A and B are shown apart, each in its own frame.
Chain A
């Protein structure tokens, strides 16, 4: 008697969970289909390599691609070493006391701060206080601040995954603490650290609010020549095309095309992270 009840609840549970999956997949499919239907007409080689013309009703989005690429690189340059270094210190060197706990909690909380707050903070600190002006550099720094909590958390997790026996084994052979970390922990943790970091970077690439007041421009006739110049970016470009343009219906394909490119970029970065994780598993047989 009891058995029959179990079988029914089992089947019911499974059905409900499958339904959830289907709903989510359906939504994704709808979004993608919508974007592709509306945007595919805009996609061409010219779209990718040419600048916009005719009041941005024709041409390509090359400057936005370049700008997004540049700002992401700057973000990476600052957030990767800072984030990894911070994670290494917290996990390997810091005394596990109340202060460290507070620092960790703060870092986790920073991940939940709205991106617009980062944007405003970036304006005050980078644009005004450090006199960087609205620039790729200021925007990149702001984005790296936003990515740091993710990078630090992911890096700490990767470090925690390395068993203590690695460190102990190294130390017992006469390694100093840093030698042990450098030769027997980091080589195995870095792939995991990078995976988390890249995911954070791919999110940063698609953010609009932090770059809004710190350096992105609606239209620039030229590419940024140095880090103190302004830049165009894909998410902002998409926003403008979809809401601020004087002729929205005309540029709708361009907006959707931009969305496709942005999604494609994010997708490629995530794919990179997945491939990295796969290789990491292959090397670290446990």
Chain B
């Protein structure tokens, strides 16, 4: 069964000014899969992730070559609608960043800036998103409390709900659980398994076991290059390259 390719990078190179951060990245990501991106610090995994929703454009000296196709469209083309791209490709950050608003307003934020004014629609989407992020039961009675009243794990799930509210197709997660305790981490990992039926998920993680638990495919980056990309069970029982094996078994990192 040939699955849809929803993200494809072709000979993608990325530079911070004169420094090349990513070299000739070629990768195809299937729809409704969870892809884990692993690699040592500074290997370019976050850089690659942030290229997928053009968040790298915020950096003034950023330059890129090659192509990245998201649902068939080359997002590196100058005519791309960046705002629409970012709605379609949601992002959850490493340190959860709920806005200093109520829980309700946090989730509604994306809807409001996209011009949705219908109160009923907003309420409905908020409930759906909070349910989708496995947070609804915990907050349904206090939607108008401050987002900062929530625990760290709940805040991260709130950020996930916020991203889900604008109905993206793809979710990018940059080490979403690295600041959370084991129980909260587990909840997020379970959530990812549920979410993948509706979304395509890419998760950057420095935790090997997490990548093994959570992802269908794993991509190993090192020094800006994509060294290996294969099904997770292969990557972690018998990787193709020695350097992948060395990294995965903790011989360097």
Direct contact of A and B (CB under 8 A): yes
Residues of chain A whose beta carbon lies under 8 Å from any beta carbon of chain B: 95-96, 163, 165-166, 168-176, 179, 183-184, 188, 283-286
Complex formed: what's the CA distance from A163 to B53 in Å?
Answer: 20
Residues of A within 8 A of B113 (CB): 170, 173-175, 179, 183
Residues of B within 8 A of A (CB): 53, 55, 58, 60, 83-84, 86-87, 90-91, 93, 95, 97, 99-100, 109-110, 112-114, 146, 148, 159, 162-163, 166
Bound CA–CA A183/B101 (angstroms): 11
Q: Is B109 touching A170 in the complex (CB atoms < 8 A)?
A: yes
CB distance from A25 to the nearest CB of B (A): 37
Instruction: Pick from A168, A174, A184, A286: contact of B87, CB below 8 A.
Output: A174
Chain B residue with Cβ nearest A95: B60
Q: Are the CB atoms of B90 and A173 closer together than 8 Å? A: yes
Ordered by A's residue number, 27 sampled pairs between the chains whose C-beta atoms are within 8 Å are: A96-B60, A163-B97, A165-B95, A165-B97, A166-B97, A168-B97, A169-B93, A169-B99, A169-B159, A170-B109, A170-B113, A171-B55, A172-B93, A172-B163, A173-B86, A173-B109, A173-B110, A173-B162, A174-B84, A174-B86, A175-B83, A175-B113, A179-B113, A183-B112, A183-B113, A184-B99, A283-B100
Contacts of B110 in A (CB 8 A): 173-174
Measured CA separation A258–B29 after assembly (Å)? 76
* B99 cross-chain contacts in A, Cβ below 8 A: 166, 169, 184
Chain B residues near A168 (CB-CB < 8 A): 55, 58, 93, 97
CB pair A171 B86 closer than 8 Å: yes
Q: B residues within 8 A CB of A163?
A: 97
- Closest CB in chain A relative to B125 CB, distance in Å: 13
Q: Nearest Cβ in chain A — how far from B244, in angstroms?
A: 31
Please, which residues of chain A bring their CB within 8 A of the CB of B55? 168, 171-172
Q: How far is the CB of A72 from chain B (nearest CB, A)?
A: 32
Q: What residues of chain A lie closer than 8 Å to B58, measured between beta carbons?
A: 168, 171
Most B C-beta atoms less than 10 A away, residue of A166, A169, A188, A283: A169
